[in-house]
Amino acid sequence: MPLPLLVALATYTSHARASPHIWPSPKLDALESARFDQFGFNAGIMPGFIQPCDSFLFADDTGRSNAADWIRTAYHDMATHSTTDGTGGLDASIRLDAEMDRPENAGDGFRNTFIIVSGVTNRYLGIADALALAAVVAIENCGGPEIAYRGGRIDAIEANTPGVPEPQQDLRSHIASFARQGCTQTEMISLVACGRVSLHSFGGVQHDPFPNIVDELNDPENTDDIAHFDTTFVHFDNNVATEYISGTTQNPLVVGFNDTTNSDKRIFGNDGNATMRSFADSPSLFTSTCAELFARMIDTVPSGVQLTDVITPLPVKPDNVELTMVNDTIRLSGQVRLWNTDQASAGTVGVLWDDHLGGQGNTTFAFAGTASSIGGKYNSVWYGFNAITPFGFIGLDAAAGIERFRFVVNGKLEDREGVGFEVQDAYMFSLTSCLYSLNGGEDPLRLDVAVRNDVNPTRIYAESLVFDGFGRPTIAETDIPRPDQPVAINAAYSLWSLNASAIDLGDVTIGAEIDGKRYSTVQRRSVLLFPSCDGGISGPTQPGQGLEL
Ligand code: HEM
Ligand SMILES: *[C@@H]1O[C@H](CO)[C@@H](O)[C@H](O)[C@H]1NC(C)=O
Ligand SMILES: *[C@@H]1O[C@H](CO)[C@@H](O)[C@H](O)[C@H]1NC(C)=O
Ligand SMILES: *[C@@H]1O[C@H](CO)[C@@H](O)[C@H](O)[C@H]1NC(C)=O
Ligand SMILES: *[C@@H]1O[C@H](CO)[C@@H](O)[C@H](O)[C@H]1NC(C)=O
Ligand SMILES: *[C@@H]1O[C@H](CO)[C@@H](O)[C@H](O)[C@H]1NC(C)=O
């Protein structure tokens, strides 16, 4: 049988390649942030919705949780996969009414899930990647194992073929369904058990969508009439297995009053309880099995979809690095994250930079904040590119510019073995732009871009984030015309300008094609200093260091 060998090889290769990517790489940088900046400074908002793990955003229902909904949604989305024809898989097709409204997707947990998941997407994090991440974040932060996460899923625009297993179906059809999804019978038992335990006692079966399984409970603490899968609360553990083996389980899909819908009982007993017994005997086997199967679950995608390598945290990560041209000065702002350390160990944090003229500059950084990830397993510290305030900037001479920086952490050079962190200053936002009008909208808005005279871009364009008819985040590009005559800003840069009255400048970024490569600026954070069209705001004096809120 060549197949198991191939699978083994693929697994081996993926582990061997799991090393941090090279910054800057906008999509991977963004996936890394979404995946690892979970709580604290610069954190995304998604993990907050499962803190604590029994949080439930919708109505005042007790007994339900966002975390359980996210994991179930990820499974149901993936469960349409067919290993035969390569269709289906984790592609967020379940968000589409044609799929969500099918009987196999009973309940409102799916709709609830996308209210949060679709809200955290961005140009680099699509809906399916965000859904996969939601499951990972929920499992990891609610006591479960750390799960390998990759990006690159493609958001479906039509429903997949039905095929999610339902509790009233018989064992034969469940075996067939899991086989179609790519699971052996042992993996079927394992994945179902993992899906049950990762929820502790806050996942379960509700009376409303499943009246034949759960009776009305008449419990004021449990207004949704949820029958829970096991009795543990805080820790991810193998209680789903120990309680099943000892005959004390309350799992409504094992001991439900209606045997037709006792699907977990049929599945868990399928191998004479061997798999469940091995989980009851070994919590660590259970945990490692779940980590592997959850990763496979979210990586089950339609054929042709190319996932990224496993996203691993960058030990030293610059973020929000933003350059702004102001007269003769480039303002450089941003932050750097030091992974898995604390402020005392980080000591003094600073930066050296190389310019285009062979010179070097340096400064120390201001402490910005702490952050944590994966149930507090990792802590990190953030510093801002300014000695006084993390939201300030460093003023650079425009002619000298910047090529790369190297960080200095507690006296130790962090420059990736001499490679450094490359910074592009070929083009940048110019503060001569006017992005809003104070005169009742009379003045035309203008986006000004400073372009370095010794580079010759093929194109410069404004990028606006728009959501298409399927809710997918996409970028709309508006070309910025090359000026007929160069308009000098200073000795090294000249101006390209766009009459931007027709585009939303609130979250605009600037793209460029230079020597066949595409670049994109980060979204401007210095919102308060967006210039107005009556020339009112010019910002603090330069050169040197200043505050940019
Ligand atoms: C034969 C296979 C399966 C059947 C028949 C099944 C059936 C069910 C049913 C009837 C519910 C109750 C839903 C509700 O009351 O709204 C449920 C909940 C759940 N299922 Fe499954 N399931 C299966 C496999 C899986 C797998 C493989 C996973 C994940 C790996 C999973 C994850 C969940 C989660 C997290 C919940 C709790 C949702 C909540 O509390 O809001 N299920 N399942
Ligand atoms: C048991 O469940 C099946 C499938 O949902 C249903 O058809 C049947 O009426 C149920 N029996 C009882 C006693 O509720
Ligand atoms: C498997 O475990 C269940 C639940 O404890 C029990 O009812 C059943 O008899 C066991 N089956 C075997 C073959 O041991
Ligand atoms: C940092 O810059 C100052 C001048 O601004 C210079 O005197 C000093 O040598 C520099 N330090 C390093 C480590 O380059
Ligand atoms: C800018 O565009 C707006 C409409 O998009 C137009 O009304 C205005 O005349 C243009 N201004 C300039 C200076 O081209
Ligand atoms: C830039 O130069 C203009 C014209 O010399 C001046 O009015 C403005 O204050 C300068 N801006 C800054 C931030 O120094």
pLDDT for res 444: 78
Ligand nearest to the CA of 395: 6
Residue closest via CA to ligand 1's atom 2 equals 165
Q: DSSP state, 52?
A: S
Whole-angstrom Cα distance, residue 313 to residue 36?
7
Q: Mean per-residue pLDDT for 432-453? A: 82
Expressed in angstroms and rounded, the spacing between residue 391 Cα and the centre of ligand 1 is 45
Residues pairing with 339 in the sheet: 380
**Ligand 1 proximity of 135 Cβ (cutoff 6 Å):** no
DSSP annotation of 82 reads -
Tokens 């500059």 correspond to 361
Instruction: State the pLDDT at residue 95.
Output: 98
Q: Which residues line ligand 3 (CB under 6 A)?
A: 244-245, 247, 269, 272-273
* CB within 8 Å of 344: residues ≥ 6 apart: none
Any ligand 6 atom below 6 A from CB of 361 = no
Report the candidate in 446, 427, 442 with the shortest Cα–Cα distance to residue 530. 446
C-beta 327 within 6 A of ligand 6: yes
Crossing angle of the two packed helices 127-141 and 109-117, in degrees rounded to 10: 100
Query: Which atom of ligand 4 lies closest to the CA of 362?
Result: 1
Both tokens assigned to 276:
């469940």
Of all ligands present, the nearest one to the C-alpha of 168 is 2
The answer, yes or no, to whether residue 547 has pLDDT greater than 60, is no
Does the N-terminal peptide bond of residue 483 adopt cis geometry, omega within 30 degrees of 0? no
Nearest Cα residue to atom 1 of ligand 4: 362
Confidence of residue 466 (pLDDT cuts 50, 70, 90): very high
Higher pLDDT, residue 59 or 516: 516
Please give the backbone phi and psi of residue 181, each rounded to the nearest 5 degrees, phi first: -75, -10
Ligand 2 pocket member 258 (CB < 6 A): yes
- CA 518 – CA 510 distance, rounded (Å): 11
The answer to whether the beta carbons of residues 45 and 120 sit under 8 Å apart is yes
List Cα–Cα distances, 267 to 188, 264, 270, in angstroms: 8, 5, 5
From its phi and psi, is residue 435 left (phi > 0), alpha (psi between -120 and 50) or beta?
Answer: alpha
Q: Is residue 260 lining ligand 2, measured as CB closer than 6 Å?
A: yes
Round to whole Å and give the CA distance between 468 and 213. 40
**How much is the pLDDT for 203?**
59
Tell me how far the alpha carbon of residue 457 lies from the centroid of ligand 5, in angstroms: 25
Kindly report the protein residue whose alpha carbon is nearest to atom 3 of ligand 4.
Answer: 362
What is residue 360's predicted lDDT score, i.e. its pLDDT? 96
For the cut 90, the answer to whether the pLDDT of residue 15 exceeds it is no
Is there a contact between 393 and 546 (Cβ–Cβ < 8 Å)?
Answer: yes
- Mean pLDDT, range 233-251, rounded to an integer: 83
pLDDT, one tens digit per residue, over 264-307 is 999 999 999 999 999 999 999 999 999 999 999 999 999 999 99
For ligand 2, atom 4: residue with the closest CA? 168
Mutation test residue for ligand 1: of 58, 72, 168, 226, the one with most atoms within 8 Å of CB: 72
From 166, 214, 258, 259, mutation site for ligand 2 pocket: most ligand atoms within 8 A of C-beta: 258
pLDDT beyond 90 at 78: yes
β-strands 360-364, 316-326 pairing: unpaired
170-179, 467-476, 527-536: which has the minimum mean pLDDT?
527-536
Report the separation in Å between the CA atom of 116 and the middle of ligand 3, taken as the mean of its atom positions: 40
One-letter amino acid of 128: A
183 lines ligand 1 (CB under 6 A): no
> What is residue 451's predicted lDDT score, i.e. its pLDDT?
98
215 vs 361, residue with greater confidence = 361
- Higher-pLDDT residue of 380 and 235 is 380
Atom of ligand 4 at shortest range from CA of 363: 1
- Which pLDDT score is estimated for 497? 94
Compute how many other C-beta atoms are within 10 angstroms of the C-beta atom of residue 412.
Answer: 9
Position in ligand 2 atom list of the atom nearest CA 168: 4
Ligand positioned closest to the Cα atom of 189: 1
Q: What pLDDT, on the 0 to 100 scale, is given for residue 13?
A: 39
Domains of the chain: 26-298 (1.10.520.10), 316-422 (2.60.40), 427-548 (2.60.40)
Q: Is the peptide bond before 24 cis (omega within 30 degrees of 0)?
A: yes
Take atom 2 of ligand 3 and give the residue whose Cα is closest: 245
Q: Percentage of the chain surpassing pLDDT 70?
A: 87
Q: Does the beta carbon of 360 sit less than 6 angstroms from any atom of ligand 4? A: yes
The tokens for 193 are 């058990």
User: Quick one: pLDDT band at residue 10, thresholds 50, 70, 90?
Assistant: very low
Is the Cβ–Cβ distance between 194 and 142 less than 8 Å?
A: no
Q: Is the CB of 174 under 6 A from ligand 1?
A: yes
Q: How many Å lie between the centroid of ligand 3 and the Cα of residue 353?
A: 67
The pLDDT of residue 221: 67
The closest-lying atom of ligand 1 relative to the alpha carbon of residue 191 is 27
> b/e per residue, 337-372, with b = 16+ CB within 10 A?
bbbebeeeebeebbbbbbbeeeeebeeebbebbebb
From ligand 6's centre to the CA of 437, what distance in Å?
Answer: 20
Question: Closest-lying ligand to the alpha carbon of 257?
Answer: 2
From the CA of 359, the nearest ligand is 4
Name residue 505's amino acid: L
Ligand index nearest the alpha carbon of residue 209: 1
How far is the C-alpha of 357 from the C-alpha of 344, rounded, in Å?
A: 36
Is the confidence at residue 233, as pLDDT, over 50?
no
Give 457 Cα–ligand 6 centroid separation in angstroms.
27
Predicted pLDDT at 54: 81
Ligand with smallest separation from the Cα of 398: 6
CA of 280 to the centre of ligand 3 (A): 13
- With the CA atoms of 344, 414, 29 and 321 taken in that order, what torsion angle do they form, in degrees rounded to the nearest 10? 90
Average pLDDT, the chain: 89
Mean pLDDT value of segment 461-471: 96
The phi, psi pair for 279, rounded to 5°, reads: -70, -35
pTM of the complete model? 0.92
Q: Helix/strand/coil (H, E, C) string of 252-319?
A: CCCCCCCHHHCHHHHHHCCCCCHHHHHHHHCHHHHHHHHHHHHHHHHCCCCCCCCCCCCCCCCCEEEE
Tokens found for residue 170? 């018989």
Rounded Cα distance between 317 and 314, Å, is 6
pLDDT higher than 80, residue 222 = no
Q: Distance, CA 336 to ligand 1 centroid (Å)?
A: 41
pLDDT for 62 equals 67
Runs of H (alpha helix) within 162-273: 171-181, 185-197, 239-245, 263-268
